[in-house]
Structure 1
Amino acid sequence: MSSVEIRDVKVTRYITPLREGGSLPAIAEADDGFKYVVKFRGAGHGVKALIAEMLGGEIARKLGLKVPEIVYAELDEAFGLTEGDEEIQDLLRESRGLNIGIHFLSGAINFDPVAVRVDGELASKIVWLDAFITNIDRTFRNTNMLLWHKEVWLIDNGAAFYFHHSWNNWEQQAKTPFTYIKDHVLLPQADMLDEVDEKFREILTGEVLREIVDLIPETWLQWEQSEETPEQIREIYFRFLTTRLTHSGIFINEAKNARNAVV
């Protein structure tokens, strides 16, 4: 039995859209009584954004970082028919089936890098994660972190794994230095990158990465524009991650050089 599991819930009530960015996620209630931020397969980047959200979140969780629970969120055929906003109704219609939900942290506030000081170890862990998963979206403009019960929680990894939008030369892209790390909001505090790299390389074994990749639902891997089978697509994600981990020195050195330029 896998040590990594994701629950299934059915979305029962659409509460309110979150009009931040172009993907139009929403706060919704599920049949387990909890509220979730639901991201929809019918939005701009489709299932690839859901895959990035799930992979990035579960890798972060495995590394001991704080991430709200991720669930598979099912929308049935009738859901959203009474929604008055035509744009939202169209989105919900295109999103029937399996979507992704992130547990809504009631009372959480957006992370403010000016007001909150993150210690070097935690900053290094988050910078390492984002360089590893090629997450372009944890910047001063959009930190994608929350402060909840005085702890930093990571949200919104949907912009990670950007190689999958072009889906070619994945081996070459797995070895990129990830120059976007220069814009990371926590880079100035990340003074323990070598120590974190050594620790995280031990945690993310091939077995662990295989378990996480195997969580991608087959319905998210049926790409109309691809001749590859879901199994072949899943294997490329696995090989991308293992190759990137093997060559972590490339992105660690990039991050260290970028940090030296700003501190």
Structure 2
Amino acid sequence: MTAIKPKLRTVNVTRYVTPLREGGSLPAIAEADDDFLYVLKFRGAGQGPKALIAELIGGEIARTLGFKIPELVFVNLDEAFGRTEPDEEIQDLLKFSVGLNLGLHYLSGAITFDPTVTLVDDLLSSQIVWLDALLTNVDRTVRNTNMLIWHNELWLIDHGAALYFHHSMDKWEEQAKRPFIQIKDHVLLSHASELETFDEHFRKILNPQSILNIVSLIPDDWLTETSFGSADKQRNIYADFLNSRIANSKIFVKEAQNARSLLI
């Protein structure tokens, strides 16, 4: 199977529309020079560029596996935007985010997924749980599902909390083979009865070339762990982590199955 190399467009912010006060990251809705609205994730927020890296890798892996994901784009933010913002917190955020940020196409009219209202079948639930166990995504819980219903279809958003290994990258080899115990809190775990069905299939899709294509998208100036070497060396750590985790997927699949057995 030939891996299709993903491409991201680059747009420029023309209008800051409104902040989305969710947690401490303060994403915002912004308009770009292509006349589309985007949910803008700032490099100057919270966990900095690492959240953008996780968002980028998580989103493009999900897209490669066939999930519905809003288009991701690189977003240039000019220093002029911070000068006229009256809110000091937002002003500081804009000032520290000058340069390249990340945007998700704004799904106008989408509603937050509510598991008490919308039933996700066992097949799709299993696919999403597998994805989040691979990515070590702690942020797909009942409290915060990070899924939207748009045009009667389920869309995945917000992968910035995934790949938490990169907050202590010196232990990446060990962390790549760890079970993901937080999967017990996944909003779709109780319906994920077909994990083994998709394990082999997804492992074939996420071959080393497809992973390399995705991590190669990471901009140099987001790769700030200079103690680990050049930007290319840091990209290689992400690729090696993901390839190791995929090769050892039985570990996180078994953990998810064990956690599910306690729910049913």
Q: Shared fold (TM-score greater than 0.5)? A: yes
Structure 1 portions without partners, runs of 5+: none
The whole-number CA distance in structure 2 between the counterparts of 1:165 and 1:44 is 13
Alignment of 1:221 with 2:194, yes or no, is no
Q: Is the 8 A contact 1:222 1:229 kept in 2?
A: no
CA–CA separation in structure 1 for the residues paired with 2:233 and 2:7: 22
Cα deviation code 1:19-61 (max 9, x no counterpart): 0111000000000000000010000100000000000000000
Q: Which residue of 2 aligns with 1:117?
A: 119
Q: Matches of 1:206 and 1:245 in 2, distance apart?
A: 10
Aligned to 2:210: 208
Partner residue in 2 for 1:151: 153
Q: 2:69 & 2:201 partners in 1: Cα distance?
A: 19
Assess if the C-alpha contact under 8 Å between 1:37 and 1:104 holds in 2: yes
- Where in structure 2 are the equivalents of 1:27-176 lying within 5 Å? 27-176=29-178
Aligned to 1:256: 257
d(CA) in 2 for partners of 1:4, 1:167:
25
Q: Provide the C-alpha distance between the structure 1 equivalents of 2:252 and 2:38, rounded to a whole number of angstroms.
A: 33
1:236 maps to 2:237: yes
The count of aligned residue pairs is: 262
Please, what is the CA RMSD of the aligned residues?
Answer: 1.1
Question: What's the % identity of the aligned pairs?
Answer: 61
Amino acid at match of 2:233: Q
SS at match of 1:194: helix
1:2 offset after TM fit, Å?
A: 5.9
Matched residue of 1:242: which SS? helix
Taking the aligned partners of 2:91 and 2:171, their CA distance within structure 1 comes to: 37
Q: Distance in 1 between matches of 2:10 and 2:208?
A: 26
- Runs (4 or more) in structure 1 with deviation over 3 Å come to none
| 1:262 Cα deviation from its structure 2 partner | 0.2
Distance in 1 between the 2:228 and 2:128 partners?
35
1:209-231, Cα deviation, whole Å (9 max, x unpaired): 0000101011111346x352111
1:130-184 CA deviation, whole Å, 9 max, x = no partner?
Answer: 0001000000000000000111100000000001112221000000100000000
How far apart, in 2, do the equivalents of 1:160 and 1:51 lie?
9
Deviation (angstroms), 1:3 = 2.5
| Alpha-carbon offset, residue 77 of structure 1 | 2.1
8 A Cα contact 1:9 1:73, kept in partner:
yes
| 1:238 aligned counterpart, secondary structure | helix
Question: In the alignment, which residue of structure 2 is the partner of 1:189?
Answer: 191
**Within 2, Cα distance between the matches of 1:19 and 1:32?**
25
Classify 1:2/1:152 alpha carbon distance in 2 versus 1 (closer, same or farther; 3 Å): closer
**Post-superposition shift, 1:194?**
0.2
Within 1, Cα distance between the matches of 2:139 and 2:25?
14
Secondary structure class of the residue paired with 1:10: strand
**1:14–1:80 contact (8 Å) kept in structure 2:** no
Q: Distance in 2 between matches of 1:207 and 1:183?
A: 32
Q: Are positions 1:247 and 2:236 aligned together?
A: no
CA distance in 1, matches of 2:184, 2:103: 30
